[in-house]
Amino acid sequence: MADLFAPATPAEVSARRRSWIQDWDRQMEAFRNREDVFQRGDGSFDVRGNVEDLGSKDFNRFRRLALRYATVLGDFSCNGSFRSLMGAPRIICGNFRFHGDLKSLMGFPKEVWGNIELINHPHHKDEQDAIRWTEADIRNICDVRGTLTVENHSGI
């Protein structure tokens, strides 16, 4: 009987990573080919529908958004461990949801017409040094027209 908890071999890890990258590339191509996606001259995107950002190709260690957005007319969500939200849409006409570890509010949307749900899981060796966001922090940088939920939990 095989040991279910045995670590993956280097070949298995490499094969999984290639598979993830191929899947990520397919999803990015599908996003760019959507009829409701328009690329601006500066390289950012306007989207007339909903967006779930895939994060960068640095799998399991997302540090940034996959793309730069300008306006999203639907909902926008992203998950992962991010240094900041640089590249996030300035205006989101639907809801905004973030779930993960967010180190900085730089790049946070300026207007969200729907609700915001920020579920932050700061992980830091010294729990007292972990960054914890408040509703006031968000309202200082973003015009929130819907409800605002901010939660901070230990670790992911």
d(CA 41, CA 93): 22
Residue 24 domain flag: no
Torsions phi, psi for 144 (to 5 deg): -100, 115
- Per the domain annotation, does 27 fall within a domain? no
Question: Nearest 10 degrees: CA dihedral of 16, 18, 19, 24?
Answer: 120
Domain that includes residue 139, residue range:
36-152
pLDDT digits (tens, 9 = 90+) for 35-64: 999 999 999 999 999 999 988 666 555 678
**Nearest residue to 120 (alpha-carbon basis) of 94, 149, 144:** 149
**Structural domain includes residue 137:** yes
8 in a structural domain = no
Does the pLDDT value for residue 1 go beyond 80? no
Q: Which of 106, 14, 21 is nearest to 65 (CA)?
A: 106
* 56 in a structural domain: yes
pLDDT per residue as tens digits for the range 69-115: 999 999 999 988 888 999 999 999 999 999 988 889 999 999 999 99
Number of domains the chain is built from:
1
**pLDDT given at position 58:** 65
pLDDT tens-digit readout, 4-35: 788 889 999 899 889 988 988 999 999 999 99
141 lies in a domain?
Answer: yes
pTM of the predicted protein model: 0.85
Alpha carbons within 13 angstroms on the beta-carbon side of residue 12 total 4
Q: Is residue 147 part of a domain?
A: yes
Task: Specify the amino acid at residue 7.
Answer: P
147: left (phi over 0), alpha (psi -120 to 50) or beta: beta
Q: Is residue 100 part of a domain?
A: yes
